[in-house]
Chains A and B, each alone.
Chain A
Amino acid sequence: MKGPWIGQSPRAGAIVLFAATALAGSYITLRLWQALGGEADPRDVLAQPRIPFSWRIYAALVHAATAGAIGALLPERLAEALLRHAAWFLPLLVFVLVTLAVLVP
């Protein structure tokens, strides 16, 4: 069986890493920002004109695209060095984001 098409560019990995962490990080940060600014009364949920969940996703997608574009500018060697640190950095970031997501619903 012919092997799958698989690339080997560290820069591509950096683009994906930047975009994915920016998407999740931006979304959670926006939620925290909203919580710090004061919550609407939950009983008024139907009166709110916009759905905060949706606009947070739209904003996070813009941030993810921007971060991915920044990742594309990295030299291959720097991207490779960054990816080596992802082994400890990424699980730590995921743990922090999960904790925040649970603490600030």
Chain B
Amino acid sequence: MTAEIFALCSRLHGLLAVLSLVLLIHPIVTLRLRRGISVWTARTADLGAAGVLATFLIGWWLYPGYRQGIKPRLLFDDPSATALFESKEHLALLVMALAVGGALSLRLGGHHPAVRRLSWIMLLCSVVVGAVTAGMGLWVAAAAHPAW
């Protein structure tokens, strides 16, 4: 992988993460305020979860490049940033599991009150943890910027 492809994909990864988290706010709000489940509530949950999944897969694909091209230098320059990056990866998996779980449970059982509440909790937790993860990603990107 070239440095240009890596840089392009890592920016796409960050943009997609933010867009997906913003999309997920719609089902969180509408599931709380409305009695029924509208077409757009289900669609934004699906799209947001698909975006979070795509973000995670891009990050997983980029990880070996980070490990080879950025991590050794970053370990020398700013070891705390590499630790923060690893924590971010752990949290990203948690966010992906919660977002995909929230959207799937809404589709498969959203008309049942207990499943609807489960879906709401999963989506809410995914957005809260996702915002923390995105902040960590921004911090690491700023620390690693001169590396490649």
Residues of chain A at the chain B interface (Cβ within 8 Å): 1-13, 15-17, 19-21, 23-24, 27-28, 31, 42-43, 45-46, 51, 53-54, 57, 60, 64, 80, 83-84, 86-87, 90-91, 94, 97-98, 101-102, 105
Nearest chain A CB to B89 CB, angstrom units: 6
Nearest chain B CB to A47 CB, angstrom units: 11
Residues of chain B at the chain A interface (Cβ within 8 Å): 36-39, 41-43, 60, 63-64, 67-68, 71-72, 75, 79, 82-87, 89-91, 93-94, 97-98, 100-101, 104-112, 114-115, 117-119, 121-122, 125, 129, 132
Q: Which residues of A contact B90 (CB under 8 A)?
A: 27-28, 31, 101, 105
Q: How far is the CA of A27 from the CA of B39 in the complex (A)?
A: 34
B115 touches A12 (CB 8 A): yes
Q: How far is the CA of A2 from the CA of B42 in the complex (A)?
A: 13
